Amino acid sequence: MVTPPNHHGRWLQLSDLVLMEVSSCKKRAWNAGRPVILWKTMAVPGPPLLLLLSLLLPLLLSKASLPAAAYTLTSEQQPQHKILHLDWPKDCGMAHFKPNMAERIVSGNEARPHSWPWQVSLQVRPRGSKQYIHVCGGTLIHKTWVLTAAHCFQKGKAEDAGSWRIVLGKHQLKRSETAERIIPVKRIYRHENFRYPTHSELDYDIALVKSATDIVPSNFIRYACLPRKQTSLKPGHYCWVTGWGDTRGGKENVSLAEALNQARLPIIDFKTCRQKKFWGDRVRDSMICAGFRDTEEPPAACQGDSGGPLLCQLDRDRWEVHGVVSFGPIGCTVENKPSVFTRTVAYIPWIEATRIRDFFLH
């Protein structure tokens, strides 16, 4: 129900998804010396959620000294509407070309072409150059969204979205391929609490990249599923990491792989990974450790794989992106130093809130 208008505007019902941003909005308003925001909360039936264009913005611009209510600026004759669908692709996690999952492929091998169709190459054009270079991997999770790592966009690179592009449908990284699609980047969202390299820890190492146009699925380009909330991985469960990262694991002269590679990795118990001889307190409960404890096996994830997916199949026949390649040891091959991934499940609320924020502000 929408109440009659007053001199501020109209009261509107908000869904729980929008209320995720309320505390953040209040905090920003308070810190900026803006009036306190009062919210009336009511249950709303499911999607689509009909909202008016300027729902969250007026209060941030208000100069009133009294507490204000959440309101919208509308035209009595013709209000402007935007419809927000927070659904995720239902046909996710299914590859047209099935990956080679033979158990012998543990240490890493070239993937079957296009068998990981959600794999993205995020490429940047350095200032003054006409050429793009591969910087990080990523995972296509929606027709306009790619999931990746925040550390891929250091030193102001996140603000310069126009110099980035999304490349999909790739197998051979440096060759032009018929199946490939190149999409400009519209916006980049790093997690607000990511502080590296100002701080040494890689907490909140997650980012979303929004494409400038919708990405159309094909046999070569598809979406990976986000894991369901509260999903946990058992130690010893095998998942797969994919990317064009360095396959030699050297400390110097990093050389990207020509073709997309894959490796089968066991999940390592969190308590084990927190031991001093492993990663100690550098590992948080918002991270996943996966890989091998000794140096007999080649590295699982290395330079150039950053931002790429850790993909797992649980109780259904779909691939879910449970992790984002975050960090590992220098040189990649160090005893008791497995690869560390940002745990996607821990950031589902942030991912959804970022989509909402993008919807309102642009």
So which residues are the catalytic ones?
151, 205, 306
Amino acid at 354: T
Residues 39, 29: contact at Cβ < 8 Å? no
Q: Which residues pair with 109 in a beta bridge?
A: 262
Residues 259, 108: contact at Cβ < 8 Å? no
Q: How far is Cα of residue 106 from the mean position of the Cα atoms in its chain?
A: 26
- Give the CA distances from residue 142 to residues 87, 179, 232, 321, in Å, rounded to whole numbers and listed in that order: 9, 19, 22, 12
Which phi and psi (to 5°) does residue 353 adopt? -65, -35
Residues 6+ apart with CB under 8 A from 166: 120, 121, 122, 138, 146, 182, 183, 184, 185, 209, 211, 215
Tokens linked to 119: 């794999």
Residues 6+ apart with CB under 8 A from 187: 161, 209, 210, 358, 362
Among 228, 242, 241, CA closest to 314: 228
CA–CA separation, 118 and 220 (whole Å): 8
CA–CA separation, 56 and 16 (whole Å): 15
CA–CA separation, 223 and 142 (whole Å): 6
DSSP assignment string, 148-165: E-GGGGTTTTTT-GGGEE
Beta pairing class for 207-211 and 287-290:
unpaired
CA–CA separation, 82 and 18 (whole Å): 14
